[in-house]
Amino acid sequence: MQLSPEDEAFRDEVRAFFAAELTPELRRAGKLMTSVYADHAAQMQWHRKLHARGWVAPAWPVEHGGCDWSIVRHHIFASERVRAGAPPVSPMGIQMAGPAIIAFGTEAQKAWFLPRMLSGEHFWCQGYSEPGAGSDLAALQMKAVRDGDDLVCTGSKIWVTHANVANWAFCLVRTSTGARKQQGISFLLVDMTSPGIAVRPIVMASGEHIQNQIFFDQVRVPVANVLGTIDDGWTVAKYLLEFERGGSAYAPKIEVALAELAAQVAAQPAGPGRAPLEVRIAEARIRCDILARLESDILSRLSAGASTGTDASMMKILGTELQQRVTELVLDAAGPLARAFQPGVAVPGGPIPGHVPDDYCSGEVWQAIAPLHYLNERASSIYAGTNEIQHGILAKAELAI
């Protein structure tokens, strides 16, 4: 990507900000993440720093607290964040609920929710999947029955990231039954402190408590908290999924991970397994170069005002599959030391029951956290719509199947 002198000056401004504001603790939290989610305390500390600079929600319209950046500058900012090792902000509010409220919310909803989302006072989680409705999201059954000015909600949501620390949730609920499953669904903004809400932790294979199940027992939510119109929440959900699936710049993160891995492998003693591993790393770097070119092409078309069509699905498939491949390479490079469960040296996105932070580990830190990365990354091809679903979207749109 060729940068103009003005964009180069912006890149330098971003680098200077990161150099000045990233404390050693924040850099450590970014470097030792084991999933796509940073440690909550570090995440919120960085959120407040970005908010003070006016950069916490750069993609929002300026009138709502966003930045008047070109698409290229958004990409520069995302790339420099990864290279600086800064933790990401939570995507649930700023990147998902926020754009949906801006697009579909009433003036009262925008005035109440958006400033509190920017400041970090409101921390959001997403209530979509249910025990019987995951990839087939339209099969959801959580009921919301109208009673005067309230909707009374009963049911359950599962795989809810950070529900244990969130004070607001956006949920899809069943308000009526139509001829099609997508009909009769409403998009609801729920105060997590409401009576009748219970959160149960789900401990992942990596040992981390990031996911949760939420139970709703006769929870009363004001009708005023419906986003869009009652029974037409599927329209809002489809709009929001575009941000969830297509809002990531995969290549910069993968480039950094592969460069670090190449250096770690080069520092190991020569042996029969090293050369084949270096070949696999080189192949992954070629794939990453291709991915970066595709991302640049999409940015160029967006800058020209063109639609990207199904590119969000394509990039979700390519990006997540390559991320998984990289964690497999790191696990192989770590060798036998990766067999030990040593989560205390990491800075995960949630607590690890029974373990406390520990600076000591067998081997090097990257070897100790390699299995945690590997286990967490298995979910990337599942969340935001499984990659099988994305293949179906591409086949239907591009091949008329």
CATH of the domain at 47: 1.10.540.10
Picking from 361, 285, 366, the residue whose alpha carbon sits closest to that of residue 333 is 366
Q: How many domains does the structure of the chain reveal?
A: 3
If asked whether residues 384 and 266 sit together in one domain, one would say yes
If asked whether residues 306 and 217 sit together in one domain, one would say no
If asked whether residues 181 and 318 sit together in one domain, one would say no
Assign residue 328 the CATH number of its domain: 1.20.140.10
Place of tokens 């990337």: 380
If asked whether residues 16 and 131 sit together in one domain, one would say no
If asked whether residues 384 and 257 sit together in one domain, one would say yes
pLDDT attached to residue 396: 85
List the pLDDT tens digit at each of the 401 positions of the chain.
678 999 999 999 999 999 999 999 999 999 999 888 899 999 999 999 999 999 999 989 999 999 999 888 988 998 899 999 999 999 899 999 999 999 999 999 999 999 999 999 999 999 999 998 887 888 999 999 999 999 999 999 999 999 999 999 999 999 999 888 999 999 999 999 999 999 999 998 888 899 999 999 999 999 999 999 999 999 999 888 766 554 557 888 899 999 999 999 998 888 888 889 999 999 999 999 999 888 888 777 766 666 666 787 888 899 999 999 999 999 999 999 888 888 888 888 888 888 877 778 888 899 999 999 999 898 888 887 788 888 988 888 877 76
3-state secondary structure (DSSP) of residue 253? helix
From 39, 74, 89, give the residue that closes a domain. 89
pLDDT attached to residue 226: 98
Has 244 been annotated as catalytic?
yes
Assign residue 199 the CATH number of its domain: 2.40.110.10
Domain that holds residue 157: 123-233
If asked whether residues 269 and 346 sit together in one domain, one would say yes
From 233, 259, 277, give the residue that closes a domain. 233
pLDDT attached to residue 306: 64
Sort 125 into a burial class: Cβ within 10 Å, 0-12 / 13-18 / 19+: buried
If asked whether residues 228 and 265 sit together in one domain, one would say no
Say if 107 falls within a structural domain.
Answer: no
Side-chain-side CA neighbours of 271 within 13 Å: the count stands at 8
208, 244, 255, 377: the active-site residue: 244
101-109 contact pairs (CB < 8 A, 24+)? 101/189, 101/227, 102/60, 102/61, 102/64, 103/236, 103/239, 104/187, 104/227, 104/228, 104/235, 104/236, 104/239, 105/227, 108/224, 109/189, 109/224, 109/225, 109/227
pLDDT attached to residue 248: 59
pLDDT attached to residue 57: 95
pLDDT attached to residue 191: 98
If asked whether residues 77 and 169 sit together in one domain, one would say no
Say if 252 falls within a structural domain.
Answer: yes
If asked whether residues 321 and 222 sit together in one domain, one would say no
Say if 372 falls within a structural domain.
Answer: yes
Distance CA 269, CA 256 (A): 23
Picking from 331, 326, 335, 337, the residue whose alpha carbon sits closest to that of residue 281 is 326
Say if 361 falls within a structural domain.
Answer: yes
